[in-house]
């Protein structure tokens, strides 16, 4: 049995105490155990086993974290287009913020029906299946002409690591998804290939789709007010450009002429959603209904502008290119949204994970990073362990009750690269650089 598997409602052995496959660091203990057994794939779920997680070990020993959109694409492609897969036809359902790659797969498969404009949440997917179980005359008019019944479901997916394959369950369920992924992994492993190789081949065939989801976390009543102010600003002063690209369409789900009158306040809340479409990507923005948090979803679209059009790049180069482009867009959008409440963050602070709230990111930018650079210049630490202990103390409030160091690796890797020339003579900078690369 892996260490730390005893019942523990505080999840003390999980980084950030966040047992959620959406959090890349959550599976660090599982990956460490997998390495002791020579395993090269980790499948995971959250405590109620509805979200599915996937980690794949690369040939160099590092791990690749699949996000929910990538898992959705792999499953959908396997079920519908894989020459050795089931080659299924039928009904595919996703939300409006799930990767557009799923839609491309369905269209290429042909003889199938896609529902892809749903609000965020699996209850909307379940509602479609409920409607399709009724006679056409009794259905919601938007589904009256769909020739599929719920029994023809191929897959339903959402960006937050949810997948449904059995229409009788009517909710996301990690178990069937894990079984398909495990079977596909076993087939590929016999050919010295991985699920990462499989996903890259999907991109090569279907185009450079990529998705990045971010959250602007804030605190308390002031955070709620700031969250709502950003949404109001977007409606009162819609953007004409976003992340350097011209806006071609804005869809506001509070538009009652287009989407119908509000049925109730509980109907109004999830419809508090705005989608901005540019020539190269789409960004969907929505506030959390329960927290001082603004969520946004960046969907990179291939073949729609010079920065995202298909190229001759293959393999990891293609994956790296579309990921970097999507992450650049997401960081730009993050700051453009913050600008609506007169706040901005530098590049390193934007790289902190979104479990860290905006105030802590600002503190990292204004206090921690300058003090770290000064300490390196002055040779204030005798070894790396001493430096990391100082960093852990300085940033403890970022992840209360959990070790904050995993959250610092990406921004520190970026800062070390920026400081490399001016601090090249400092041996601890090189050691810190190597440590940060082990993300």
By three-state DSSP, how is residue 159 classified?
coil
**Which runs of E-coded beta strand occur in 50-185?**
52-57, 63-66, 91-95, 113-118, 153-158, 162-164
Average pLDDT over every residue of 392-420:
94
Q: What is the pLDDT of residue 266?
A: 86
CATH architecture of 1-206: 3-Layer(aba) Sandwich (3.40)
305 — pLDDT class (breaks 50, 70, 90): very low
> Which residue's entry shows tokens 């419809």?
271
By three-state DSSP, how is residue 146 classified?
coil
67-93 burial string, b = 16+ CB within 10 Å, else e?
bbbbbbbbbbbbbbbbeeeeebbbbbb
3-state secondary structure 358-406: HHHHHHHHHHHHHHHHHHHHCCCCCCHHHHHHHHHHHCHHHCCCCCCHH
* Overall fold of domain 210-344: TATA-Binding Protein (3.30.310)
Question: Where does CATH 3.30.310.50 sit in the chain?
Answer: 210-344
Question: Where does CATH 3.40.120.10 sit in the chain?
Answer: 1-206
Alpha-carbon torsion 191, 193, 195, 200, what sign?
Answer: negative
What is the Cβ-side half-sphere exposure of residue 31, based on CA atoms within 13 angstroms? 20
> What does the mean pLDDT of the chain come to?
94
Quick: pLDDT tens for 5-21. 778 888 888 888 889 99
What is the Cβ-side half-sphere exposure of residue 137, based on CA atoms within 13 angstroms? 0
- Residue 407 CB: number of other CB atoms within 10 A? 24
Quick: pLDDT tens for 266-288. 889 999 999 999 999 999 999 99
Question: Residue 272's closest CA among 262, 280, 282?
Answer: 262
321-339 burial string, b = 16+ CB within 10 Å, else e?
bbeebbbbbbbbbbbbbbe
Q: What is the pLDDT of residue 308?
A: 39
303 — pLDDT class (breaks 50, 70, 90): low
Predicted TM-score (pTM) of the model is 0.92
Structure tokens at 100: 């557009």
Long-range residue pairs from 283-289, CB within 8 A, at least 24 positions apart, any chain: 283/242, 283/243, 283/329, 283/333, 284/96, 284/97, 285/230, 285/231, 285/234, 285/337, 286/120, 287/227, 287/228, 287/230, 287/231, 288/215, 288/227
- Residue 18 CB: number of other CB atoms within 10 A? 17
**212 forms bridges with which residues in the sheet?**
298
Q: What is the pLDDT of residue 306?
A: 39
Quick: pLDDT tens for 147-181. 999 999 999 999 999 999 999 989 999 999 999 99
Distance CA 235, CA 273 (A): 10
**94 forms bridges with which residues in the sheet?**
157
- Rounded to a whole number of angstroms, the CA Rg of the chain reads 23
Distance CA 312, CA 318 (A): 8
Alpha-carbon torsion 12, 16, 19, 24, what sign?
Answer: negative
Quick: pLDDT tens for 30-53. 999 999 999 999 999 999 999 999
């Amino acid at each position: 049995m892996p260490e730390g598997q005893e019942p523990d409602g505080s999840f003390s052995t999980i980084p950030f105490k966040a047992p959620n496959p959406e959090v890349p660091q959550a599976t660090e203990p599982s990956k460490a155990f997998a390495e002791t057994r020579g395993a090269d794939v980790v499948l995971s779920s959250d405590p109620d086993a509805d979200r599915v997680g996937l980690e794949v070990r690369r040939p160099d020993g590092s791990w690749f974290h699949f996000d929910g959109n990538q898992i959705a694409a792999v499953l959908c492609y396997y079920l519908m287009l894989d020459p050795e897969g089931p080659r299924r036809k039928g009904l595919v359902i996703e939300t409006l913020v799930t990767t557009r790659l799923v839609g491309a797969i369905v269209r290429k498969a042909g003889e199938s029906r896609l529902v892809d404009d749903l609000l965020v949440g699996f209850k909307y997917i379940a509602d479609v299946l409920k409607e399709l179980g009724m006679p056409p005359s009794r259905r919601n008019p938007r589904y009256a002409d769909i020739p599929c019944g719920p029994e023809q479901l191929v897959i339903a997916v959402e960006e937050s690591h949810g997948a449904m394959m059995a229409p009788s369950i009517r909710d996301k369920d990690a178990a069937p998804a894990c079984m398909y992924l495990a079977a596909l992994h076993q087939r590929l492993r016999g050919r010295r290939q991985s699920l990462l190789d499989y996903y890259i081949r999907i991109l090569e065939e279907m185009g450079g789709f990529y998705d990045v989801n971010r959250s602007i976390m804030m605190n308390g009543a002031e955070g709620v007010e700031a969250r709502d102010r950003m949404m109001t600003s977007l409606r009162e002063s819609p953007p004409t450009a976003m992340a350097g690209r011209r806006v071609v369409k804005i869809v506001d789900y509070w538009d009652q002429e287009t989407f119908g009158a509000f049925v109730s306040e509980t109907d109004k809340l999830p419809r508090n959603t705005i989608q901005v479409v540019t020539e190269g990507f789409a960004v969907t923005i929505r506030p959390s209904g329960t927290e001082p948090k603004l969520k946004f979803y960046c969907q990179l679209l291939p073949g729609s502008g010079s920065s995202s059009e298909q190229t001759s790049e293959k393999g990891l180069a293609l994956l790296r290119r579309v990921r970097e482009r999507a992450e650049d867009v997401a960081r730009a959008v993050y700051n453009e949204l913050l600008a609506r409440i007169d706040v901005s963050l530098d590049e390193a602070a934007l790289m902190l994970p979104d479990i860290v709230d905006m105030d802590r990111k600002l503190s990292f930018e204004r206090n921690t990073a300058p003090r770290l650079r000064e300490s390196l210049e002055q040779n204030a630490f005798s070894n790396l362990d001493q430096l990391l202990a100082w960093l852990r103390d300085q940033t403890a409030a970022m992840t209360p009750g959990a070790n904050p160091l995993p959250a610092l690796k990406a921004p520190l890797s970026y800062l070390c690269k920026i400081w490399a020339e001016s601090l090249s003579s400092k041996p601890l900078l090189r050691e810190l650089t190597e440590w940060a690369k082990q993300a």
